[in-house]
Structure 1
Amino acid sequence: MTYSRMTLFAAGGAAGLFALACAQQDTGTWSVHDMNRPQPAVVTPGMTATDTAAGTAPSDAVVLFDGTNLDAFRTGGGAAAWKVEDGIASVQGGDLHTRQDFGDCQLHLEWRVPADFAGEGQNGGNSGIFFNDKYEIQILNGYENTTYPDGSGGSFYGQHPPLVNPCRPKGDWNTFDIIYTSPRWNEDGSLASPGRATVLFNGVLVQNNQAFTGTTVHGDTTKYGSPHGPGPIRIQDHTDPLQFRNIWVRPLGN
């Protein structure tokens, strides 16, 4: 596919990790079952999470949190403020931003709401993941906890409710696996194609290549702003005591 009038903002500085894979992408026309066609890069998969142990990242991922430290993140202009103990990062002191910028990517994280937390509705275990620091996928306990549908866990906040609610009870670990595609812009700055995401919540599809209608805002309709390139991934401190483990990202460059 050729983009003649389009500016593509893709994986940013992290794309170097995928130079080999990009070099192996098809650049010509191949016959069926052509053994000269470039082979896919070999990636060692990570371990799947269990109730008692975090999963691990695949070999080509950028590890953001493996239970040891939050050096891949910042809070404001300084060090990450969240507490790390027993391999778990607990929300406190402000949002986390990745120090590295990302565009198109695959993100994995594991999160839970403490079993003794008594909040309800939008205060029932609330956080969120912002891609390009602009487009939010909601994190919220949805087990025996109701709220407005476009603010449920797995929603595009204020835009699209999740297809279903597969949330586990408080005290249990949930997983998000997200495939995110950044918006594309024409040379005149107009929107060529919206940002999109596919979301698997505990392995269940809750967003299927869904388009963002614009940047995330609270309590209002939304639209796209000025063109932008890659940006940080932000994990929100909504003041609820959420916990996180095993956070990694795979940049997906063109």
Structure 2
Amino acid sequence: MGDLMARRHTRVAIAGARIGAPVLSMAFAALVAATASAQAQDQQQRDPAKTEVWTPLPKAVATPKDAAPSDAVVLFDGKDLSAWEAEQGGQAPWTVANGAFTVVPGSKGIRSKRRFCDIQLHVEWRTPVQTRGFEGQHRGNSGIFLQELYELQVLDSYDNPTYANGQAASIYKQAIPLANASRAPGQWQTYDVVWKAPRFAQGGGLVSPARITVLHNGVLVQDDTVLSGKTEYIGAPSYSPHGCAPIYLQDHDAKVSYRNIWVREL
């Protein structure tokens, strides 16, 4: 009886072995295939071409030394004020000499004939050397108004204390600059500006406020600053619907000069 039982267990074991071998072989093959697939996927993910985007190609913009980019709108090239007009229309009354133009105090401001919304703006400016007897807001005051409504302050802020949200590179009465990068009177200074115009709904409501980034003499002084509305001398700023509009330069009774003004529409 013992021999019979032993022979039966042996036969069962042999039969099980015969059945298990193909199963194990299939499982091993599946594991190998899964590993190979994972390796292939990993290799595919590591392929640098999978993250290369070839279109659309950015347009080519030439950037000649000491000149405006090739796609810029030049508003002053050192020769005349043909791109500008008087505040109330007609010929711009400011004087042109030696590659620059200068405010004629009492003549009122000038504005670009062309209207703009989102822009990159480059402008160079200089406050007068004669500062004796003048201080604060009465020393080399002018202003660059984006869309005629939002003032980036121009002022001799070199060793000239005034209220911080009214000094050079401030968004007048709204945003204090991050630094005072002013040069001495009589030296040329530079503003490089990125301006994002406000957006309004068809019904007149504000969709998104104006934003501005400014570099003063290469120093970041306004970093994507959000404006609360148009510039006000008295009272809080607020918005009212408008479209694209000229750049306006202010006459504030000081012989401030400007040169090399250009705009890239964004």
Q: Quote the offset at 1:46 in angstroms.
A: 3.9
Structure whose CA Rg is larger? 2
Which of 23, 42, 65 does residue 60 from structure 2 map onto? 42
- Give the match for residue 98 of structure 1: 112
In the other structure, the counterpart of 2:16 is none
SS in structure 1 of the partner of residue 203 of structure 2: coil
Larger relative CO (CA 8 A, sep 6+): 1 or 2?
1
Question: Is 1:81 matched with 2:93?
Answer: yes
Q: Deviations over 1:5-47 (max 9, x none)?
A: xxxxxxxxxxxxxxxxxxxxxxxxxx62133x12111111143
Q: Which runs of 5+ in 1 are unaligned?
A: 1-30, 48-54
Determine the C-alpha separation between the residues in 1 that align with 2:161 and 2:184.
13
Segments of structure 2 that go 5 or more residues without pairing to the other structure are: 1-49
Query: Which residue identity does 2:149 align to in structure 1?
Result: K
Count of residues in correspondence between the two structures: 214
1:245 aligns with 2:259: yes
| Paired amino acid for 1:77 | G
The two structures have a TM-score, normalised by structure 2, of 0.78
Q: Identical aligned pairs, as a percentage?
A: 45
Q: Judging by fraction of residues, say which structure has more strand.
A: 1
CA distance in 2, matches of 1:231, 1:205: 25
The equivalences for 1:155-234 within 5 A come to: 155-225=170-240, 227-234=241-248
TM-score scaled to structure 1, two decimals? Answer: 0.81
What is the alpha-carbon root mean square deviation over aligned residues? 1.4
Mapped partners of 1:46, 1:61: distance in 2? 12
Instruction: Give the SS at the match of 2:137.
Output: helix
**1:186-235 Cα distance to aligned partner (Å, 9 max, x none):** 2322111101100000010000000111110103211112x111001101
Structure richer in helix, relative to its length: 2
Match of 1:7 in 2: none
The equivalent position to 2:71 in structure 1, one of 43, 52, 60, is 60
Which residue of 116, 126, 132 maps to 1:112? 126
What is the alpha-carbon distance in structure 1 between the residues aligned to residue 129 and residue 149 of structure 2?
30
State whether residues 138 and 151 of structure 1, in contact with CA within 8 Å, keep that contact through their aligned partners in structure 2: yes
Kindly provide the CA deviation profile for residues 85-140 of structure 1, in whole angstroms up to 9, marking residues without a partner as x.
Answer: 11110101221100010000011000111222332100111111111111111011
Which of 139, 143, 154 matches 2:154? 139
- Measure how far apart 1:64 and its partner are: 0.3
Contact (CA 8 Å) 1:158, 1:220: kept in 2 or not?
Answer: no
Q: Is the 8 A contact 1:56 1:66 kept in 2?
A: no
What SS is found at the alignment partner of 1:122?
helix
Letter of the structure 2 residue corresponding to residue 32 of structure 1: T
